[in-house]
Structure 1
């Protein structure tokens, strides 16, 4: 097996190059307040959808995949790809938004799961990659939504994109994070509780994985609930204004 460090450095270099290019070329005319967030969204776009496709292929290509199966080289590479992204995005937050403790904590916890799966136990990538798919399948829409939200006060087009994208994005996010995510975690917990993985994945490792995932799903559900409330209030406000005009 090839050494993982060169792969990790290569992936990190790619994300760094994308971030640097976004910050100083693609979004150079944006305000200094919005430019870092836009650059972060761009590396997220470069990670999200490719990670979903790669993770799907990594799972399909392993006919014996299971919650306790040995990681394949392909699966390890996908984990390294995601590790590199989260390291780059943590650097972004530490520099431009160090007060966002919740988001930094989320990234660090996610890194713990990926790093222990890849470098410590080298087993269980199947479950982690399915969770990665569920987490990133909405990434494209979320990043477009985030950019549109940031620009909607300055751009009519961005405001229109934000208004049109919000309901379907919220619906997809709710189903993925509020239904499929919990169901898959329930299946994972059921398997690990049988003790079938104890010989290759210590209990403290898989328990910590489950704690991180449950916390992440809980925060996601809280986040999308707030978004639905905001959308409802905005739509009610628009209706009231239209009634006053009439």
Structure 2
């Protein structure tokens, strides 16, 4: 019989979790960033709810995986793992609402959020198995969240606030390196292991084939877009640093 975890008792149901992220967003928009330009206030507010989700999701997911001694690619979800999945569903629903209201033409991010929600929801409510794989992917996706959100906030203000420009310049190289390692090497390796397991038929009768195939497709697509994004940032950083060096040598 599964032992009830003390942490599980502190994870409320999905509607309450969504309300939490909704309130954090309102506080960010109307209080924390009230003096920021209307053009960047929505993005900054999105960063704040991402901060409220990312790092906690890493720790909760790690605990939920380690707390289950039988964790595997096809193992049944524990109650704690399902609660962590709901925590992330609540965040992505709130951020999806943010994009639909403020950036309805941003099809890439809206599609990303819908695909991510599909993975979480099918794992939680359809398959009821595979949370080990999905939560590990969540850890890999969110381990860079803190650095990325601070970098994004600094980027938003770097042209009109000198301190923000310094923070942006300081964070860019380590953030790019960490992101490149996680999304370019660790992530693809884990997806390879995940795909090899499912293709072997070891999850037959536990996770529907269309479910795990869709997970692989969604994750591989997300990783591909991430690699393209970070590659463009590396090129931009190289051009920027090269340009500054040329100015100093003149």
**TM-score, with normalisation over the residues of structure 2?**
0.95
In 2, the alpha carbon distance for the partners of 1:95 and 1:67 equals 37
User: Considering only aligned residues, what root-mean-square deviation do their CA atoms show, in Å?
Assistant: 1.2
Q: Does 1:106 align with 2:124?
A: no
Residue 153 (str. 1) matches residue 159 (str. 2)? yes
Q: CA deviation at 1:194?
A: 1.2
Structure 1 SS opposite 2:13: helix
Structure 2's unaligned 5+ residue stretches are: none
Could you report, residue by residue, the CA deviation over 1:26-77 in whole angstroms, capped at 9, with x for unpaired residues?
1111111111111000000000000000000000000000011000000000
* Matched pairs, number: 241
Asked whether 1:121 is paired with 2:121, we answer no
Distance 2:107 2:120 in 1: 20
- Correspondence list, 1:173-188, <5 A: 173-188=179-194
Asked whether 1:89 is paired with 2:95, we answer yes
Partner residue in 2 for 1:57: 63
Which aligned pairs between 1:68-83 and structure 2 lie closer than 5 A? 68-83=74-89
CA–CA separation in structure 1 for the residues paired with 2:248 and 2:161: 22
Cα distance in 1 for partners of 2:163, 2:65 equals 39
Please report how far the alpha carbon of residue 117 of structure 1 lies from its aligned counterpart in structure 2 after TM superposition.
0.2
What residue in structure 2 maps to residue 15 of structure 1? 21
Aligned mates of 2:183, 2:222 — CA distance in 1:
9
1:135 is aligned to 2:152: no
TM-score (norm 1): 0.96
Query: Which residue of 2 is the match for residue 212 of structure 1?
Result: 218
Q: Which runs of 5+ in 1 are unaligned?
A: none
